[in-house]
Amino acid sequence: MKASPGARSWMAAGVRHELLTRALPALRHEMAAPVSVIRMGVLLLKRQLANAAEARPDAAAMAERVALIEDQVAALAGGVRSLRDWELATHDDGITRSALVAQCATLMRVAFELNGIGLKLGEELAPVDGEPRFPAAAALRYMVLGALGHLHDSVPNLGEIRVEAVGGDGLRFVASHGAAEPVEPIAGAHRAPRALAIDAIALQALADGLGCAVTVEGESVRFGLGTAMALP
């Protein structure tokens, strides 16, 4: 029985879900950091106020603490808002290639490095003034994570993934092998054997669902940024 168009859409949705699941620890980490500072700041204020009978509280220090908490609340609010980055149906202003790569690399870098896998970005991917913005930023985020996830899951003894610009509107992800003896994984859960590996079929299903033309050549993945659709 051939998969119906509906079934292929579900398959693409499943791949997006898997990729978001992999990014979630980093997304949570980004929001836990300001919450942690807020909690400690409030606790410190409470303890200082509790001691106020014995020692006169330093008003300037307390005002500084409140300002710090306000900054962290703003950072947390930004983190909550940024969750919309993952909603395909959301209208967005598009994203530059350099920002796209930087954001996705930041999300996955810790997971990769804890397992001895380097993530290198080509110098040509540094931000420059007047860079074009590509529409369907959410779809492009999933495509970048999909390419990284595919190489992560399919290349044996992976040592490094290098991300390169292709022309003015494309990206290429190239895997290279590590040392003969794989590094003992520090964070086993990040590279645990996955029931849902992003194999070539899964990556193709993802790309089809996003309307993006992807090419897998050996241990590299390439796609253009101008082809993704805003809606699945």
Partner 1 sequence: MNVLIVDDNHAAADLLQELLVLQDHTACCTYTGQQALDVAARQRFDAALVDLTLPDFPGTEVARQLRAGARGEPPLLVAISGYAADEAGDAAGLFDHHLQKPIDFDVLDRILARPLAG
Query: Given the rule CB under 8 A, which residues bind partner 1?
Result: 25, 28-33, 35-41, 43-44, 47-48, 68, 72, 110, 113-114, 184-190
- Tokens 């969750």 -> residue: 83
For residue 40, count CB atoms less than 10 angstroms from its CB and return exposed for 0-12, middle for 13-18, buried for 19 or more.
middle
Instruction: Please report, for residues 34, 184, 194, 226, the alpha-carbon distance to residue 25 in angstroms, rounded to integers and kept in the order given.
Output: 15, 21, 16, 29
Tokens representing 144? 């970048």
Tokens representing 103? 């954001």
Choose between 37 and 196: whose C-beta lies nearer to partner 1. Answer: 37
Distance CA 16, CA 1 (A): 24
Q: How far is the CB of 33 from partner 1 (least distance, A)?
A: 6
Choose between 16 and 190: whose C-beta lies nearer to partner 1. Answer: 190
Choose between 59 and 89: whose C-beta lies nearer to partner 1. Answer: 59
The values of phi and psi at residue 52, to 5°, are -60, -25
Q: How far is the CB of 82 from partner 1 (least distance, A)?
A: 15
Q: How far is the CB of 44 from partner 1 (least distance, A)?
A: 6
Choose between 43 and 197: whose C-beta lies nearer to partner 1. Answer: 43
Q: How far is the CB of 63 from partner 1 (least distance, A)?
A: 15
Q: How far is the CB of 231 from partner 1 (least distance, A)?
A: 32
Amino acid at 172: R
Distance CA 147, CA 198 (A): 9
Question: Do the strands 220-224 and 95-96 form a parallel or antiparallel pair, or are they unpaired?
Answer: unpaired
Choose between 14 and 185: whose C-beta lies nearer to partner 1. Answer: 185
